[in-house]
Amino acid sequence: MGDPGTEVDDEVEIAPDTRNDDSATDDTAGTAPPRRPRDVEATAALTELIWQRAADALLVRTRPQFDEIVLDVGTGAASVPSAALVGPGGRVDAVLRDQALALRARADAGEALPQLALHRLGLADWGFGSYDVVQLALALDVVGDDEVERTAADLVSRVRPGGRIGFLVWAGRAFAELIPAVVEAAGPFDERLGAADPADLGPSVRHVGEPGSFAARLADLGLTGIHADELPRTEPVDPDLAWSIVVGTELVHLLDGVDGEDLPAVQEAFTAAIAREGVDSVDLSMLAGVGTVPPVE
């Protein structure tokens, strides 16, 4: 395929997120608060705990090869090792919406990988294809949970016949220890959150809570050679790390309706809640799924 972009450009701007734009023309415009960005320092602090492990898990399944063209969507953690794997004859387009993730990926990339292009914009604004490999890791807040079906189909359409696509998503029970405490702490500042069921607020894909249902969804996308598995994992946390996980991952969007000036009070209430409940660990389990786009007969 032809070169789908330009050299790495530090000036590429993030496209506006119009999903909650008050200027939208539908009757529900303005009803949802703006999406809160991840905390830059918290995101960076989670590199070894979450992002790098997620990247490693994805790469052993998608297996980018020398001279291949790769689209990496989500956290950016897999983009740098992918660029090293494809070599100077290949290319990696990394699409990241979140500024904190883009900054971390930029720092990791340095100047040694001209085959890597970082694009800070929404996936819907990325019009290029096709790719030998498409990979998406922990990126529900990149594409929007209500857009998962359409986005997954769009990603599959960007894979050349015979190419590979891999998804890494949070398991259904991920963050289960922290979400009730976030709801309790932030509920007084956001009545919609206070009325929600904590079981419905996790970042996992709806109806994809275990490998079997994940594989079925991938088959519905027309993929073959599907393999889906769970990566179970629980890690110890202290109050500071627990809060970093809240504001440095997709959980930050539970705080979309909280004013910035109220965040310290929310953090204090969150810390008190997990101390009261004896929370000293967090489930970070993920589901991985990979498949092949059938060759043209």
- Can you give the residue ranges of every domain in the chain? 33-173+204-234+284-292
Q: How confident is the model at residue 132, as a pLDDT?
A: 98
Please give the CATH number for the structural domain made up of 33-173+204-234+284-292.
3.40.50.150
Q: How confident is the model at residue 123, as a pLDDT?
A: 67
C-alpha 255/C-alpha 246 separation (Å) is 9
DSSP output for 86-147: H-TTSEEEEEE--HHHHHHHHHHHTTS-TTEEEEES-GGG-----EEEEEEES-HHHH-GGG
Identity of the residue numbered 265: A
Q: How confident is the model at residue 112, as a pLDDT?
A: 81
Q: How confident is the model at residue 32, as a pLDDT?
A: 65
Q: How confident is the model at residue 21, as a pLDDT?
A: 34
Q: Residues 118, 109: contact at Cβ < 8 Å?
A: yes
For the chain, the first-to-last Cα distance in angstroms comes to 20
Q: How confident is the model at residue 124, as a pLDDT?
A: 65
Q: How confident is the model at residue 192, as a pLDDT?
A: 82
CA distances for 101 relative to 17, 109, 182, 190, angstroms: 16, 12, 22, 26
C-alpha 134/C-alpha 128 separation (Å) is 12
Q: How confident is the model at residue 143, as a pLDDT?
A: 57
Residues of the chain with pLDDT under 50: 1-30
C-alpha 249/C-alpha 132 separation (Å) is 28
Q: pTM for the whole thing?
A: 0.82
Chain-centre distance of CA 104, in angstroms?
14
